[in-house]
Amino acid sequence: MTQRSGLIYRDTVRLRLTALSPLHIGVAETEASPDLIQARDGLGRVVLPATSLTGVLRGALGRGEGDGGGTRWWGWQTSTVRRNGRVDSDGLASRVWVTDAVEADSAPCPALAVRDLRPAVRDHVGIDRSTGAAASGFLYTREVIRAGQCFDFELTVVAFGGEPSAENPAPEEAREWLSNATRVLTSAGPDGTCLTVGAGRTRGLGRVSLSVIRRRVEDLSSREGLRAAVLTGGTDTASNPLAPSRTDASLVAGPEGTGQGDDDGQSPCAWSVAPPSSASSNSQPRPTRRRVRLRIPWRPTGPLMSKVSVFGKACDAFPATMTGSDGLRLLLPGSSIKGALRARAEYIARTACGVRAADVGDSLLEQLALASKLPGVRALFGAAGNWPGGDSGCRGALEVPDVTTEVSIPEKEWRAVRYGPLPECPGGENAAFAKAVDRLNSRLNSETHGDGLWFDYVTRNAIDRWSGGVANGQLYSSLEPYAAKVGVWRDIVLDVDMDRLKCNCGQEGDTGNDDGAGVSQDVACQMNVALALLALTVRDLVDGWVPLGFGVTRGLGSVEIEPGNVSLDAQDSPLQGMSLQAGGWLDGDGTANGPVRRLETAWANACEAFRDGPAAARTKAPAAPSGVFVSEERPGT
């Protein structure tokens, strides 16, 4: 290993992380309420731990030796166990340092519409595959950071003295690495290419963006540089021989976009980012991960909501909402949409594989264990780990972000309905609540010209089976939203991480295009199976077989989707050239003889192999396409 001397160069960029969606990084608490609480430091401040950020940043830059996330910069460690039981360790400390991200100490982010920085709480429940009701013991709550909240942290790269080598980068290489890494990390946008942090990343949580606040360069190889680092925190750009010749203004901006380094604009430090240059293979970060994206415009045919239960008020159930950079809007969580899609995908796979209802299992854990063995389910939706059984689990390749309304909710009128207090009314509390809902609808109608979103205050009761009258104590009410047309709710977006899918199907690394080049035949076949299951599930969603949200067995949650409006961005993937029409999935030429036939064949083979068992699958001839992707008798055709 190359010997190194002391630290001679330190280059630090201060970054602002903005939550584009709610996010959660939890800690272990046995008696917490909510069940999954957000990480905090010793002062009680909400933080994003550096351990979580480091993995995300390194993954975004790539982990190969020629990538920005390689071991040359992020270090490595090995352990060797000798025959006498002694353990010898070897390794290299990381040249990249990351701090915890703490809440921005400046004024609240201008993008944050409501200045409530307290974490919100979301309810989650597991659905029993046999009964369709909530599974016993799987109701839990999660504390999440609100969308629009900002956190600041520092990313530092260092260089040591000694002869430059593969394990000891020179200061010039460190500066160039940080410039390239910063450019990649801040170039991600809110269109799905953004970074994701924390838990629930495939269910709408954890989407963030990064922006540069300032950059500090410290040259510790000379007396003058060391003095400047101690007294002022860095050296002036003009006097720093390692500083870039110009400033990339697009990557340097103050907290309010003033272009200043510090808040007062008088920082003596070298706040700059190196201009583009010919980076070496060891410092050039790789591009973003490849994805397949389905965008689905839709509208509910009746009331649709994700329910929030309230006790002791005139209304027992309200639709879920989310406050973000674009105001207060109704919310359909990504976890709810993904759960509905997964339940349908498992149903499709069980049916195609001939699994009997008696074999599904009684407990949710048994049902999930069976589902992970069905064709395509594990690779697409992920699976929980079973460490005693030697299974570490995997994260699903399908990502479903939260869906909100395009129409914003008037905050004043909504708070009067949701939180009160209600004015006195001759008809009592219920009448006062109904008038508050009328005021909310009037405001919405004036802003959407009567062709958008409105609420209906509904009262229901249960019937006594013996007397036929109203059951005592079983009167309840809810506030149900309606949408008049497509566009009131934002599109449902389904993203498939093709790199993750390839890994879930048994191949590590990035070895070629996802259409099969550079991928083993077995892995390519497994990828086709997972994508075929996705295509079948989306077809059922479009055909109206997959209701969304709360109360789907009681008239709520039905959706209407026009097949021709579904867009598919599947460049360089097995789905390229496919389109969804009224009769099912077709190729670009209107037939089913290209990618559709390939996915059909892979799906038929996988289902037949599951029915016959692994041994029979190795000896059977490939099954003929089953025609499941195109049917002339689908509902609505």
Which pLDDT band holds residue 287 (cuts at 50, 70, 90)? Answer: very low
Question: Which carries the bigger pLDDT value, residue 141 or residue 562?
Answer: 562
Contact 506, 351 (CB under 8 A): no
Which pLDDT band holds residue 63 (cuts at 50, 70, 90)? Answer: low
Q: Is the pLDDT of residue 530 over 90?
A: yes
**What is the Cα 498 distance to its own chain's centre?**
15
Q: What is the pLDDT of residue 266?
A: 29
Question: Which carries the bigger pLDDT value, residue 126 or residue 591?
Answer: 126
Q: Is the pLDDT of residue 261 over 80?
A: no
Cis peptide before 421 (omega within 30 of 0): yes
Q: Is the pLDDT of residue 363 over 90?
A: no
Highest mean pLDDT among 284-298, 381-395, 493-507, 610-624: 493-507
Question: Which carries the bigger pLDDT value, residue 491 or residue 107?
Answer: 491
The radius of gyration computed from the CA coordinates of the chain, to the nearest angstrom, equals 28
| Mean pLDDT, the chain, whole residue set | 78
Residue type, 66: G
Q: Can you tell me whether residue 322 is helix, strand or coil?
A: strand
Q: Is the pLDDT of residue 508 over 70?
A: no
| Phi, psi angles (nearest 5°) of residue 43 | -90, 5
Contact 305, 336 (CB under 8 A): no
Tokens of 628: 């499941």
Q: What is the pLDDT of residue 263?
A: 35
- Segment 573-583 mean pLDDT: 85
- Segment 226-253 mean pLDDT: 51
Q: What is the pLDDT of residue 404?
A: 92
Contact 170, 261 (CB under 8 A): no
- Segment 155-175 mean pLDDT: 86
The counts of H helices and E strands in the chain are 13, 28
From first CA to last CA, the distance across the chain in angstroms is 68
* pLDDT tens, residue by residue, 325-343: 678 889 999 999 999 999 9
Q: What is the pLDDT of residue 166?
A: 78
CA distance 518 to 510: 9
Q: What is the pLDDT of residue 572?
A: 82
Q: What is the pLDDT of residue 82?
A: 67
Vertex 257 angle, CA 254 and 258, to 5°: 70
Residue type, 378: R
Q: What is the pLDDT of residue 495?
A: 92
CA 248 vs CA 74, 179, 180, 245: distances in Å: 25, 10, 12, 10
CA distance 120 to 131: 30
CA distance 87 to 112: 52
Q: Is the pLDDT of residue 153 over 50?
A: yes
Of 148-157, 288-297, 483-492, 549-558, give the lowest mean pLDDT range.
288-297
User: Over pLDDT 70: what percentage of the chain?
Assistant: 76
Of 31-35, 53-57, 271-275, 587-591, give the lowest mean pLDDT range.
271-275
* pLDDT tens, residue by residue, 304-313: 999 988 876 7
Q: What is the pLDDT of residue 58?
A: 87
